[in-house]
């Protein structure tokens, strides 16, 4: 302890402290908004270095390099490296430098502003760029569909039907979604067989199954806080089966009563009955979603889980052995729905885009062409146990995956009754909807409150002039 | 301890001024000024001041963030912000944090610092409780863990089904807490989050206050004790007033900490929590900028956050001045 007078005058120190106090938050809150200098480097041509031909449909320069920024998520990035090696073997000898990134928007935003984006982007993950934001800077990809693949077949003929729909904005095909996603209600075939349960086809059957699960000390459903809207996806699919395309279009076009349609309401009411009966495992609103999913796939606390087909890959390390993960179509409300029970909610995911200002945009398309070749698509499906949009790749044994086999069967049963919707992702509503759904699934809100909450979110987007709307018909 | 070394009075004002007179500017002094004043100032201007101004400029545009078109829209972004109920919820939550956290953190830190410095046995020299050194290290421990790790760890502790907290509560017979979602219920999400932030930061301020108390003359405490003052009275009537400046500075730092809170909020409830009960401005700003592609609007939010921070700093100084803190601002 000391009695010397401090040589640094306290007043000066305080002044310094005040300035620091002001500067720190300013630096934090404002510096994040900083942009790079405005870029004016726009090369008029899209890097075409050679004339176009059947072997070189996009006129990519021989021996050129493609810069690809790939989202490093559940699927990793080495499947693009594989496709690049397939591309390099072709006569043009085009190579690719693939960079794995996780925060797409943060990493690429300065490049877009400066006008030198990469040639190919896998715009996926929690920090993907909103497509409507960069729409005007994307190259049309219809010529990729028209080109022949490396085996000599026109690419559009090798794809599943409807997979280009999610990437088509106002008639322009801008986004190529590479991975086929089948939405279903997933369960353990082994567990169901052991207990003599059958998969519920209607919400009433689901309610009954909930009672049987309860008798065994289990729950019907489980949810996690970041994935509460998986139940919205389930509800919308079920409502579309009940009410037909009218329901889908009403939601897609953000109509002012879209959540109040009888078909939607009947599904919400059926769900509310299950929530009130306590067939949802409590505490989901505070549970991290993969932890919740493990309660289903590993602990078998719950019987059913609605999700996309990525679930098998996502939970690979946390699935009980002998689980036999299998998918079933979403439940329907009545015995006479507008679309059959077997109708499927299926869409394509992992959105790949080619910025038109990229230095080698033609090369970006060439790499897409390589990814759509039979060789690269087979590699993806085999190593990720997930189908791509390329048809006829999955063998009958599904490379040993029950989930993959059941996906093929679901798609086969559905035939042409395949549907999907876009509005949730297109307008970035998921975050806001999560809040409403977590409350509902916790049993803390009524069907009317759920409906109002969702309608408010939809109306907010509809009434926001700064958001460009896409009309769906 | 105190060696009453004769402190040479810092006289010679004129001499000191003379040293810096123009004609005395040597290469040595100029280069010293250039390196230690010029370079930091230039860095500060380029990396701190210019982004501020840029951000204020962008807040008046509808810039999407992904191109170079910045249409001027005047104050429209600010009008939108005031009519945006989600953003206003975020503002309310941030204000709640900035009101509650600094007071709680400082109060707890002062109490703990007093315990480990003057809370010990009442005979012999003034000292802390037994094992004070150990507690000091222990208290500082959470602070050295990165915030994101703290968030993830507490996220697991709060887990409704398998978390430590509910495990302990149900083990002692409080079965109401079986599967209780601490972070998933709008009533508890904010207090639970605040607790984590307090836990993570209180140790740092304990260290600051321990140093401040040690710098105070021990005679004062001894005299107070001889006069019959108890530990609580010593803490509130002697320690706190004598550490006024430290506390004031700490309040501002904790306020900044509370207004940011981004890491903790993202780790515990990335989506803003149940009914947006833990959504803070920085999260809403981030979402608006990168997910919604509205950088202009996000910059307006940033400017408003900065304004709130300034108001807070101003309020702390005003309260301090009104309660008589002006005295020790006098040159001593």
How far is the alpha carbon of B65 from chain A, nearest alpha carbon, in Å?
7
Q: Choose from A28, A105, A130, A286 for mutation: most chain B CBs within 10 A.
A: A286
ipTM: 0.70
Q: Choose from B76, B169, B191, B271 for mutation: most chain A CBs within 10 A.
A: B271
Q: Choose from B58, B290, B295 for mutation: most chain A CBs within 10 A.
A: B290
**Coil, helix or strand at residue B20:** coil
pLDDT band per the 50, 70, 90 thresholds, residue B285: very high
Which residue of chain A is at minimal alpha-carbon distance from B289? A33
Residue B105 · residue B202 · CB < 8 Å: yes
Residue that the structure tokens 């279009």 belong to: A249
Nearest to A28 among B215, B260, B332 (CB): B260
Strand-pair partners of A98:
A68
Q: Which domain holds residue B249?
A: 84-324
Nearest to B51 among A30, A106, A282 (CB): A30
Domain locations in chain A?
Answer: 65-173+354-393, 182-346+420-462
Nearest C-alpha neighbor of A203 from the set A238, A171, A154:
A238
- First CA to last CA distance, chain B: 23
DSSP codes joined into one string, B168-233: HHHHTT-GGGTT--TTTSTTTHHHHHHHHHHHHHHHHHHHHHHHHHHHS-HHHHHHHHHTT--HHH
pLDDT score of A194: 94
- In chain B, residues with a C-beta closer than 8 Å to the C-beta of A232 are none
Q: Does B96 touch chain A (CB under 8 A)?
A: no
Query: Is the Cβ pair A466, B215 closer than 8 Å?
Result: no
Please tell me the total number of residues recorded for chain B in this structure: 332
Alpha helices by DSSP H, listed for B227-294, are 231-234, 240-242, 244-260, 262-268, 281-286
Q: Choose from B2, B67, B218, B250 for mutation: most chain A CBs within 10 A.
A: B67
Domain A65-173+354-393 matches domain A182-346+420-462 at the CATH topology level:
yes
Query: Is the Cβ pair A285, B252 closer than 8 Å?
Result: no
Nearest to B218 among A1, A281, A435 (CB): A1
Arithmetic mean of pLDDT, B271-292: 87
How far is the alpha carbon of B102 from chain A, nearest alpha carbon, in Å?
14
Nearest to B179 among A18, A133, A282 (CB): A282
The number of angstroms, rounded, from the C-alpha of B217 to the middle of its chain's C-alpha atoms is 28
A257: left (phi over 0), alpha (psi -120 to 50) or beta: alpha
Within a 10 A sphere around the Cβ of B198, how many other Cβ atoms? 17
pLDDT band per the 50, 70, 90 thresholds, residue A258: very high
- Where in A308-445 does DSSP place strands (E)? 325-328, 344-353, 418-419
Phi, psi of A173 (to 5 degrees): -85, 100
Rounded CA gap, A230 and A236, in Å?
Answer: 10
Interface of B with A in 168-197 (CB under 8 A): 178-186
pLDDT band per the 50, 70, 90 thresholds, residue A384: confident
Using the 8-state DSSP alphabet, how is residue A356 labeled? T
pLDDT score of A43: 39
Q: State pLDDT tens for residues B113-126.
A: 998 888 777 777 77
pLDDT score of A19: 53
Rounded CA gap, B184 and B156, in Å?
Answer: 13
pLDDT score of B329: 45
> Worst-scoring range by mean pLDDT, A196-205, A208-217, A457-466?
A457-466
Nearest to A283 among B160, B291, B294 (CB): B160
- Please give the angle made by the CA atoms of B15, B21 and B25, to the nearest 5 degrees: 120
Name the average pLDDT for chain A.
Answer: 86
A76: left (phi over 0), alpha (psi -120 to 50) or beta: left
Nearest to A33 among B47, B55, B271 (CB): B55
Which residue of chain A is at minimal alpha-carbon distance from B62? A466
Nearest C-alpha neighbor of A329 from the set A203, A173, A190, A220:
A203
pLDDT band per the 50, 70, 90 thresholds, residue A12: low
Rounded CA gap, B301 and B285, in Å?
Answer: 6
Strand A418-419, strand A120-122: pairing: unpaired
Query: Is the Cβ pair B289, A32 closer than 8 Å?
Result: yes
Q: Does B204 touch chain A (CB under 8 A)?
A: no
Q: Does B8 touch chain A (CB under 8 A)?
A: no
Q: Does B133 touch chain A (CB under 8 A)?
A: no
Name the average pLDDT for chain B.
Answer: 85
Q: Kindly state whether residue B130 falls inside one of the protein's structural domains.
A: yes
Give the CATH number of the domain where residue B160 resides.
1.10.3720.10
Q: Does B217 touch chain A (CB under 8 A)?
A: yes
Nearest to B182 among A3, A286, A431 (CB): A286
Q: Kindly state whether residue B148 falls inside one of the protein's structural domains.
A: yes
CATH topology of domain A65-173+354-393: D-Maltodextrin-Binding Protein; domain 2 (3.40.190)
Alpha helices by DSSP H, listed for A115-161, are 131-134, 142-146
Is pLDDT at B112 greater than 50 in this prediction? yes
Nearest to A17 among B68, B249, B274 (CB): B249
- In chain A, residues with a C-beta closer than 8 Å to the C-beta of B291 are 105, 127-128, 130, 428, 431
Rounded CA gap, A124 and A349, in Å?
Answer: 8
Which residue of chain A is at minimal alpha-carbon distance from B160? A283
Query: Is the Cβ pair A435, B58 closer than 8 Å?
Result: no
Is pLDDT at B154 greater than 80 in this prediction? yes
Query: Is the Cβ pair A442, B309 closer than 8 Å?
Result: no
Query: Is the Cβ pair B162, A25 closer than 8 Å?
Result: no
pLDDT band per the 50, 70, 90 thresholds, residue A42: very low
Which residue of chain B is at minimal alpha-carbon distance from A444? B185
Class of the domain covering A182-346+420-462:
alpha beta
Give the number of C-alpha atoms closer than 13 A to the C-alpha of residue B96, restricted to the C-beta side: 15
Nearest C-alpha neighbor of A201 from the set A343, A310, A77:
A343
pLDDT score of A228: 93
Interface of B with A in 237-296 (CB under 8 A): 245, 248-249, 252-253, 256, 259-260, 269-276, 281-282, 285-287, 289-295
- At B318, list the tokens: 């005003």
How far is the alpha carbon of B207 from chain A, nearest alpha carbon, in Å?
15
Is pLDDT at B69 greater than 60 in this prediction? yes
- Where in A88-175 does DSSP place strands (E)? 95-101, 120-122, 168-169, 172-173
Query: Is the Cβ pair B306, A105 closer than 8 Å?
Result: no
Query: Is the Cβ pair B295, A284 closer than 8 Å?
Result: no
> Worst-scoring range by mean pLDDT, A173-182, A194-203, A310-319?
A310-319
Query: Is the Cβ pair A291, B162 closer than 8 Å?
Result: yes
- Cα distances (Å, whole numbers) of residue A367 to A64, A178, A427, B94, B167: 12, 12, 29, 47, 52
Residue A461 · residue A429 · CB < 8 Å: yes
- In chain A, residues with a C-beta closer than 8 Å to the C-beta of B217 are 1-3
Q: State pLDDT tens for residues A116-173.
A: 999 999 998 878 888 878 888 999 999 999 999 998 899 999 988 778 888 888 888 9
Nearest to A435 among B159, B271, B286 (CB): B271
Q: Kindly state whether residue B249 falls inside one of the protein's structural domains.
A: yes
Nearest to B271 among A4, A133, A226 (CB): A226
Nearest to A283 among B51, B180, B269 (CB): B180
Q: Kindly state whether residue B223 falls inside one of the protein's structural domains.
A: yes
Q: Kindly state whether residue B66 falls inside one of the protein's structural domains.
A: no
Interface of B with A in 15-74 (CB under 8 A): 47-48, 51-52, 54-56, 58-59, 62-68
- In chain A, residues with a C-beta closer than 8 Å to the C-beta of B313 are 18, 21-22
Rounded CA gap, A87 and A368, in Å?
Answer: 9
pLDDT score of A5: 41
- At B36, list the tokens: 């230690």
Q: State how many domains chain B has.
A: 1
Rounded CA gap, B310 and B256, in Å?
Answer: 10
Contacts of A387 (CB under 8 A, 6+ apart): A179, A180, A182, A309, A381, A393, A394, A404, A407, A408
Q: Kindly state whether residue B143 falls inside one of the protein's structural domains.
A: yes
Using the 8-state DSSP alphabet, how is residue B65 labeled? S
Q: Does B210 touch chain A (CB under 8 A)?
A: no
pLDDT band per the 50, 70, 90 thresholds, residue A307: very high
pLDDT score of A13: 47
Which residue of chain A is at minimal alpha-carbon distance from B305? A29
Strand A176-188, strand A219-221: pairing: unpaired
pLDDT band per the 50, 70, 90 thresholds, residue B17: low
Is pLDDT at A33 greater than 60 in this prediction? no
- Cα distances (Å, whole numbers) of residue A329 to A38, A233, A406: 50, 12, 10
């Amino acid at each position: 302890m000391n009695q010397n007078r401090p040589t640094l005058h306290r007043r000066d120190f305080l002044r310094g402290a005040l300035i620091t106090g002001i500067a720190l938050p300013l630096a934090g809150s404002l510096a994040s908004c900083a942009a790079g200098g405005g870029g004016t480097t726009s090369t008029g041509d899209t890097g075409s270095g050679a004339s176009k031909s059947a072997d070189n449909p996009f006129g990519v320069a021989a021996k050129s390099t493609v810069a690809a920024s790939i989202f490093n998520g559940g699927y990793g990035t080495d499947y693009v490296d594989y496709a690049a090696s397939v591309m390099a073997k072709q006569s043009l000898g085009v190579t690719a430098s693939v960079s794995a990134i996780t925060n797409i928007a943060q990493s690429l935003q300065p490049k877009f502003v400066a006008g030198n984006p990469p040639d190919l982007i896998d715009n996926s993950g929690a920090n993907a760029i909103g497509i409507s934001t960069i729409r005007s800077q994307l190259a049309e990809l219809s010529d990729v569909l028209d080109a022949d693949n490396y085996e000599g077949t026109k690419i559009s003929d090798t794809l599943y039907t409807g997979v280009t729909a999610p990437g088509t904005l106002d008639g322009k095909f801008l986004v190529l979604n590479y991975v086929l996603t089948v939405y279903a209600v997933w369960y353990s075939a082994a567990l169901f067989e052991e207990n003599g349960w059958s998969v519920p086809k209607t919400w009433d059957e689901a309610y009954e199954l909930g009672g049987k699960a309860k008798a065994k000390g289990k729950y019907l459903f489980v949810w996690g806080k970041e994935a509460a809207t998986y139940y919205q996806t389930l509800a919308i699919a079920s409502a579309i089966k009940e009410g037909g395309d009218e329901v889908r279009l009403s939601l897609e076009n953000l109509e002012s009563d879209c959540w109040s349609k009888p078909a939607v309401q009947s599904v919400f009411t059926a769900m509310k009955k299950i929530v009130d009966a306590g067939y949802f495992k409590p505490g989901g609103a505070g549970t991290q979603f993969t932890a919740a999913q493990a309660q289903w796939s590993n602990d078998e606390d719950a019987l059913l889980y609605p999700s996309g087909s990525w679930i098998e890959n996502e939970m690979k390390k946390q699935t009980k052995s002998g689980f036999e993960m299998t998918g079933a179509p979403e439940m329907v409300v009545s015995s006479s729905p507008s679309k059959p029970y077997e109708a499927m909610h299926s869409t394509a995911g992992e959105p790949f885009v080619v910025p038109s200002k990229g230095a080698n945009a033609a090369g970006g398309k060439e790499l897409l062409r390589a990814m759509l070749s039979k060789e690269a698509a087979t590699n993806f499906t085999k190593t990720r146990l997930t189908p791509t949009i390329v048809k006829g790749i999955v063998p009958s044994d599904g490379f040993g995956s029950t989930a993959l086999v059941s996906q093929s069967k679901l798609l086969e049963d559905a035939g042409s009754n395949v549907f999907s919707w876009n509005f949730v992702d297109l307008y970035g509503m998921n975050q806001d909807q999560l809040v409403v759904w977590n409350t509902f699934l916790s049993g803390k809100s009524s069907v009317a409150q759920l409906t109002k909450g969702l309608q408010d979110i939809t109306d907010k987007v509809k009434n926001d002039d700064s958001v460009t709307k896409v009309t769906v018909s | 301890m105190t060696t009453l070394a004769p402190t040479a009075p810092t006289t010679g004002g004129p001499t000191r001024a003379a040293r810096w007179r123009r004609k005395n500017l040597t290469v040595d002094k100029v280069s010293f000024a250039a390196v230690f004043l010029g370079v930091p100032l230039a860095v500060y201007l380029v990396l701190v001041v210019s982004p501020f101004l840029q951000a204020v400029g962008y807040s008046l545009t509808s810039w999407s963030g992904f191109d170079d078109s910045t249409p001027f829209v005047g104050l429209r972004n600010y009008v939108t912000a005031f009519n945006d109920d989600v953003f206003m919820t975020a503002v309310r939550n941030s204000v709640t944090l900035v009101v509650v956290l600094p007071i709680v953190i400082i109060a707890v830190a002062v109490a703990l610092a007093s315990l480990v410095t003057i809370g010990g046995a009442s005979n012999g020299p003034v000292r802390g409780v037994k094992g004070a050194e150990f507690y000091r290290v222990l208290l500082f421990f959470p602070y050295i863990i990165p915030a994101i790790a703290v968030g993830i760890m507490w996220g697991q502790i709060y887990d409704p089904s398998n978390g430590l907290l509910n495990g302990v509560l149900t083990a002692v017979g409080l079965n109401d807490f079986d599967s209780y979602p601490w972070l998933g219920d709008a009533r508890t999400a904010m207090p639970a989050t605040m607790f984590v932030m307090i836990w993570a930061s209180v140790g740092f301020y304990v260290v600051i206050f321990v140093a401040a108390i040690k710098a105070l003359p021990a005679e004062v405490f001894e005299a107070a004790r001889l006069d019959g003052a108890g530990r609580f009275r010593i803490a509130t009537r002697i320690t706190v007033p004598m550490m006024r400046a430290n506390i004031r500075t700490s309040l501002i730092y904790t306020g900044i900490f509370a207004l940011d809170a981004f890491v903790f909020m993202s780790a515990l409830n990335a989506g803003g929590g149940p009914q947006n009960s833990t959504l803070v401005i920085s999260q809403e700003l981030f979402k608006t900028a990168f997910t919604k592609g509205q950088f202009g609007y996000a910059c307006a939010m940033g400017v408003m956050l900065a304004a709130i921070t300034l108001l807070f700093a101003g309020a702390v100084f005003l309260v301090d001045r009104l309660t008589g803190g002006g005295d020790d601002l006098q040159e001593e």
